[in-house]
Structure 1
Amino acid sequence: MSDTRATAQTVRYRERLTVPLWWWLPGLGVAALIALEINQGIRALPGWLPYAVLLPVAAVVLLGLGRTELRVVTAADGQTELWVGNAHLPTAVISRTAEVPRSAKSAALGRQLDPAAYVVHRGWVGPMALLVLDDPDDPTPYWLISTKHPDKVLAALRA
């Protein structure tokens, strides 16, 4: 008999990196246009079939692009962790933090980027947060993550 216990966690901050709402109109529009082309090109298909297939596919793609969740949680034992998708980082190994504004994002992801860094970048999210690590067991020098509110993420990590 296995002993499974749920650990109590307090969520300090939660954010989902969803695509902007205005992406839905062009996304569904392109799917409808492709469905129209298929409908006109293959007369043997029922007229509704390309739309019934491609519009839900476009919706699933848009939802899938925005499924990444960022959260700062504190476990019952008092340890705080940052979760980005399935990756997690204990705050004990973070030595410094900084906000990366939209204007500096290109440099941070370009010429200044360390290839060993852990990066979660979403192009539709402007600012980013930089978390410099001090962990001798981990070769990752820092995490660079997209977030809509880097000030709130960093405040939740410090709290």
Structure 2
Amino acid sequence: MDSSEKDLTKEDLSSLTYLEAVIKETIRLYPIGPVIARHSDKKVQLKNFELPSGVPVVVHVWSINRNPEVWGPDADQFRPERWLDPNSIPSNPAAFASFGPGRRNCIGKSYSIMLMKTVLSHFVYNYKITSDHTKLQFELVVMLKPYSGHLVKIEKRSKIK
């Protein structure tokens, strides 16, 4: 980007592949909604269990997104590069459940990623952000919330002329 005041084009956003990988990896490890509630509308046979019709079902997004059988032995590690290689991303689209698994996933998924790329590209251009993420502690409730504080330091960057 040439200037922090420049409006980003669709082409600019498409070229920010590493930023998109960082966003997806962050959302994979720290989904806003760590659990999703659904209601079964029909009987479903799972491996060793039959889920009857008409019962509440809780999908544990936090666990799906960190499953080492799906994401590999480094499933708990922040590694955005996994999103840059199509062969390292699980083939099952439900493996990345942050926007909801299956056909009832978030209709605004693409828009929200595009919006995050826009905001973050301008923000990172203008500010230096540091954090010791190893000290973050979360409470898993309906929404994922940090109970150790946000632990983020933001400094205005000096303008280069």
| TM-score bucket of the superposed structures, by smaller chain | under 0.3
More strand by share: 1
Q: Which has the larger radius of gyration?
A: 1
Normalising by structure 1, report the TM-score: 0.27
TM-score where L is the length of structure 2: 0.27
